[in-house]
Structure 1
Amino acid sequence: MTQNTVEKTSVTLLGLGAMGTALARTWLAAGHPLTVWNRTPGRAMPLAAEGANIAGSAAEAVAANTLVVVCLLDDASVEDALAGTDLADRDLVNLTTGTPAQARARATWARERGARYLDGGIMAVPPMIGVQEAGGYVFYSGSRELFERHRETLAVPAGTVYVGQDAGFAALHDVALLSAMYGMFAGAAHAFALIRKEDIDPTSLAPLLADWLVAMAPAVHRTAAQLRSGDYTRGVVSSLAMQVAGTPAFLSTAEQQGVSTELLSPYFELMRRRLDGGGGEEDLTGVIDLLVR
């Protein structure tokens, strides 16, 4: 063991699915002593050859190191894996996908057991882990002191973005960004469906579509500024009234192409409701207020 290895923070990792295994290999490659546990022991065995210590139980793994990282299937899995373990004086970093409410409840649960808590939302897929140029990162929320203490270690697998003391904020940022992603995928699906029956190569549409989405993406900054100011008419390029007037063309084109409008119609209906409420001179930002209950 080299001096460099001795100086690096020891890590315990619970969970060796695709993401957990990627995290483990990145910490090992960077020289961090690593103890791992997985409910299915066979998944841990290959990591032993790479230098990982294999714990026989979650409790044994937690006892091995102060920094304990959890990357399991869901919040119920976290509850089950850590049941009966001694978390006193442990730094618990939960990278398991969950809801903001689950993160807040888990933070309270951890504190009641004497642990310090940090929640994380991973904005990457396993192949991006350990590849800095891939651009993956993890949202962190909860104890700022805990984040700063382990920032260097946590930054080994992917970039780090701290989003606040509220333990639920990492999950909230995670779901917010992924929700926008699925909206983009829905729009792309509709676009490809429109040309599906035509003599148009989808690979010729793809670069046009990608460039268009990139060009439109900066509009989120105008939306954010309007939400902050409360003035939804600031910087309007194309008014809501004008855009609503154009929606029949989109719906008719879909009908003519034999394509369902189920991905577009709900948004168009919200636009019309906002228009009917007097928002004709606004941007599309007012739709957000219709979504908030």
Structure 2
Amino acid sequence: MRAAPSTIVVTGRRGQIASALGRTLTQAGFDVVLIGRPECDLVDAGAVRRAIAEARPALVINAAAYTAVDKAEDDSGAAFAVNRDGAGYVAEAAAQVGAPIIHFSTDYVFDGSKGAPYVESDPTRPLGVYGRSKLAGEAAVAEANSRAIILRTAWVCSSGGANFLNTMLRLAASRDELGVVNDQRGAPSFAADIAGATAQIAANILDTPDDPSLYGTFHLTSAGETTWCGFARSIFEGSAVRSGPHARVKPIATADYPTRAQRPADSRLDCSLVAARHGVVMPDWRDGLERCLDELFATPMREERAS
């Protein structure tokens, strides 16, 4: 056990993963410093350097990102400024204070054509600007900091923020039926579970910071797999049990729901390497969904029972 709490800087502040990290790392006994806009914009290298130097962290976690996948197609400058340049600034600032960095990336670095879960060494081939900017960010982080961990995750959801789960519940409040894509496959991954796994990884590298096997690129998603359509059905089943909004789900093809950016059809990630190196095994996505719905409906349900 550490003699004193270690300080961890987390960028992103209001994002799903950053918010979950703030809670989880604090509960794990770390001193957490959340930084983000407006005080510290990732595209401002000087501001990033000053914020991290002032905190004097033992570890930096970069959870900030430009995540507007469709908008990025017409706003590539902003996507690359945050996801490549900003990530590099954070990694460099961490290196300057002697701190390792954990950086979050995405399944969108792959094109989804493998037909099986991707391992870390598989060739990357992003289909759109967002994926290309995140892949460039991986390279920038690895170049700027020799003690870097890159965690590729996917389909991130939580009880707060803009995500698929909350979008489905919002739409179901006013519609009886929703068409949802059924030919894109992956693993819904919940911010709280990602944060718990990251806390374990953080403890590992702070306990043995010179172990080279702990660094590199790792895949980190919930266990199991589904489609967006299957995910939507599970969301509504769980919501209905909790007296929340629900709707019928009609399976549709990707071609029936065109978007500005192309998505990978099969972005399942093999997470055996992070289990072998860090002892991290994520729970099944269905378990994460149940906990997320419990959190989402806890207050309304308690109020309803009391009335």
Q: TM class, shorter-chain normalised?
A: 0.3 to 0.5
Identify the structure with bigger relative contact order (alpha carbons < 8 Å, sequence gap 6+): 2
Say which one has the larger Rg: 1
Higher normalized helix content (fraction of residues): 1
